[in-house]
Amino acid sequence: MKKLILVESILVGKFSFQGYIVDKGENMIAYSIFLIDSDVVLVELIADANRDVRLLVNMDAFSYINANKTQDKTLRKLYFSEFYNFIIASEKKASYMIFKKKKLNYIKNSSVIIDIKKIYIND
């Protein structure tokens, strides 16, 4: 995997995230969100063979964030909201930049994101 274009970045609490268009090899392009200074993908939007764009979440990377989160539940709600808005905006940019004429499985409808929210805020 090769990071091609930095699209955007955000600081949420003590974590910084960057969204990149990446070359996955074999003529496959994806939009991936990384923790800054890491080559581990946290969230990825990638087109499958049917031209549907899927959302993938690296649960190991999420577990790291969850283990190092603030103890303040009010701040966790705020941080999750900021991160959620970032990935929604990223989805729109990725849709425009690299997933034209492909069917998106929208992040807003993702049960994985709902589960992550519950774990992050309520744990």
For 70-123, write each residue's pLDDT tens digit. Answer: 999 999 999 999 999 998 888 888 888 887 766 666 676 688 888 999 999 997
Tokens of 51: 């031209």
Strand order, beta sheet including 15-25: 2-12, 15-25, 28-35, 41-47, 52-57, 103-104
Query: Model confidence at 66, in pLDDT bands (50, 70, 90)?
Result: very high
Q: Is the dihedral of CA 109, 47, 36, 92 positive or negative?
A: negative
Total number of domains in the chain: 1
How far apart, in whole angstroms, are the C-alpha atoms of residue 14 and residue 5? 24
Domain that includes residue 82, residue range: 2-122
More reliable by pLDDT, 73 or 37: 73
Q: Quick one: which H or E segment has residue 120?
A: helix 111-122
